[in-house]
Amino acid sequence: MSHIVREQFFLLMPDTTRPGRGHGVEIENEDELLQSPRLILRPEEGGFPPLKERPRLVLKQELGDPPEDLEGGMSGYWLVSERLKNAFLAIDPDAFEFVRCDYRLPDGSDGPAYYLCDVVRELDAVDEGESTFRVIIDDDYAGGKFYDLRGGASLAFNKEFIGGARVFRTPYSGDLVYCDRMFRDAIRAAGIGDERRTCGLRFKDAASI
């Protein structure tokens, strides 16, 4: 019998399953901000490189809708609203880095405050012995291995390695972000998302992927 307890930890990700077209926001000055030879703004090691100016966001209505509180696909980063940024900082301030953006609406007026966001805490906290997934061993991956969660997986975590952290990445899971139940509940207690409307945040039980 599995020792994995469900709904202790979650994958935290932008909700691409919600109805609608998705967001129509682009980084207008992305080419000017890129650090050669990178093809996206986010460095391989994470965090933010020195930026010579603020990222300029534009909403193109032909591409999609205004952004929710959390969106993905922003040159390696999340895009987060000010209220979500404030909630992140209130719950686990050391886990995140942010860069303020200039955001322009289609009529030329200033949009609400939005930030590029990166989860910068990395913990080698997955308990491989208690988890069920395929481990790919290959020197092409950072650290020489990769956790392949395709086709279904069940993750358990070493809590002693996590301590008081509420949200984190792991070295072998690529861009995936994990959080605990307290983090999820605190986000919802802040009025950001519920069972009916996600506000762009999707929480998926890491014990049943």
The answer to whether residues 154 and 130 belong to one domain is yes
The answer to whether residues 80 and 156 belong to one domain is no
Read off the pLDDT band of 32 (50, 70, 90): very high
- Write the pLDDT tens digit of every residue in 81-124: 999 999 999 999 999 999 999 999 999 999 999 999 999 999 99
Domain boundary among 119, 134, 164: 119
Residue 2 has pLDDT above 70, yes or no: no
Q: How far apart are CA 35 and CA 26, in angstroms?
A: 18
The answer to whether residues 112 and 71 belong to one domain is yes
Residue 182, domain extent: 9-14+122-205
The answer to whether residues 111 and 160 belong to one domain is no
Query: Is 1 inside any structural domain?
Result: no
Domain boundary among 119, 145, 166: 119
Residues 6+ apart with CB under 8 A from 122: 46, 168, 169, 170, 171
Catalogue the E-assigned strands of the chain.
9-14, 25-27, 56-59, 70-74, 77-81, 96-100, 102-104, 114-119, 134-137, 145-148, 167-168, 177-180, 201-205
In degrees rounded to 5, what are phi and psi of residue 208?
Answer: -150, 75
DSSP state for residue 207 in the 8-state scheme: T
The answer to whether residues 106 and 31 belong to one domain is yes
Cα end-to-end distance, the chain, whole Å: 18
The answer to whether residues 34 and 89 belong to one domain is yes
Residue 184 has pLDDT above 60, yes or no: yes
The answer to whether residues 96 and 144 belong to one domain is no
Query: Is 107 inside any structural domain?
Result: yes
Q: Buried b / exposed e across 9-32, counting CB within 10 Å, b at 16+? A: bbbbbbbeeeeeebbbbbbebeee
Domain boundary among 119, 142, 157: 119
Query: Is 40 inside any structural domain?
Result: yes
Read off the pLDDT band of 20 (50, 70, 90): confident
The answer to whether residues 196 and 167 belong to one domain is yes
Q: Are the CB atoms for 198 and 18 separated by under 8 Å?
A: yes
Count structural domains, the chain: 2
The answer to whether residues 126 and 154 belong to one domain is yes
The answer to whether residues 170 and 186 belong to one domain is yes
Q: How far apart are CA 36 and CA 180, in angstroms?
A: 36
Q: How far apart are CA 72 and CA 200, in angstroms?
A: 9
The answer to whether residues 55 and 113 belong to one domain is yes
- Residue 90 half-sphere exposure, CB side, CA atoms within 13 Å? 13
Read off the pLDDT band of 1 (50, 70, 90): very low
Read off the pLDDT band of 195 (50, 70, 90): confident
DSSP state for residue 93 in the 8-state scheme: G
The answer to whether residues 30 and 113 belong to one domain is yes
- Write the pLDDT tens digit of every residue in 131-166: 999 999 988 887 789 999 988 899 999 999 999 999
CA distances (Å), origin 173, targets 60, 91, 149: 32, 23, 9
